[in-house]
Amino acid sequence: MATIEQIHAAALIRFYRLLRLGDISGVLGKWQHLLESFSHLAQSPEFRSLLVRVENSGDFEKRAEAHEIAAAQGEMPECVAKVLVEVADEAFYNSDLSVISKILEAFQSLNCCENPRRLLVEMLEGHIANSCNQAQDDIQRVWKRAQIDPLKEATQKAITHIDKFCEPLLLQLLLQMPPANVHDRDRLKGPLIQLLNYCSKVYDACHEYLLAEFILEKASVLARGTPMLAMLNNRLDSIRPKAAKRKPLQGVSIIPRKCKPP
């Protein structure tokens, strides 16, 4: 049976080898096993005794106190986990939902990774907000040129990104939050709801009322239980009669002057 020294040495070697691989996303399962190993070491009284023996036998100007040794031992899994936070950061900009999902799953399964998990959720929340704000700015910039086809193209690009990446990621982050955390959950959903509402205004301006209605209904589902729901329902009430007529703007390439970007 391996000694605690051998278990520690093996974990360090695996950590070094995984860092050397470069592409962490392809070996996330091995990283989870590594986190489990460091989690075991962080909770091991035998490993604590080893650290104390090493400290007492060393020639140091100032010896670490017992509580400092305990703190250092407990922080080991978090130090490893911070590498995965950086991987998730890169994965967001590559729209790689699979990698982010696996890292969130790994953190959630280990109690020792609570701080990195919280850091990751906060970081991803900020990224979603920035991404939604940037998409809205891009749409508004095109809207000012008052040309329908480029405007629809920019709006559809935003909707596709929401459907394929932002909304699935948002739902995963919501699972990381307690249901009672209403304020945090509303804050997380806010930027995505606002972007969907803005996209619906584009389709309304283009007389694409069915699309405007569909996008508003999508936003309303996300907005359930938030203060934004009443505003979305009011807009739905005004859009539905027009959507029922199903008369898109045809044969026109310029948006009417009255339909200026909000």
pLDDT digits (tens, 9 = 90+) for 55-109: 888 767 778 888 888 998 888 988 888 888 998 999 999 999 998 998 888 888 7
Taking only the tens place, the pLDDT of each residue in 213-241 is 999 999 999 999 899 999 999 999 999 99
The stretch 17-40 carries a mean pLDDT of 83
The stretch 165-189 carries a mean pLDDT of 89
Q: Is 80 exposed, middle or buried (0-12, 13-18, 19+ CB in 10 A)?
A: buried
Please check the confidence at residue 159 and state whether its pLDDT lies above 90. yes
Please check the confidence at residue 257 and state whether its pLDDT lies above 60. no
Dist CA 135 CA 158 (whole Å)? 6
Dist CA 55 CA 69 (whole Å)? 9
Q: What is the structure's pLDDT at 246?
A: 67
Q: What is the structure's pLDDT at 106?
A: 84
- Vertex 154, ends 152 and 159: CA angle to 5°? 90
The answer to whether 183 touches 222, Cβ cutoff 8 Å, is no
Dist CA 214 CA 225 (whole Å)? 19
Q: What is the structure's pLDDT at 179?
A: 79
pLDDT band at 256 (very low <50, low <70, confident <90, very high): very low
pTM over 0.85: no
Comparing C-alpha atoms, which of 24, 101, 123 is closest to residue 115?
A: 123
Taking only the tens place, the pLDDT of each residue in 108-135 is 877 767 888 889 999 999 999 999 999 9
Q: Mention every residue, 6+ apart, whose C-beta is less than 8 A from residue 150.
A: 142
* Tokens matching residue 200: 């619906």
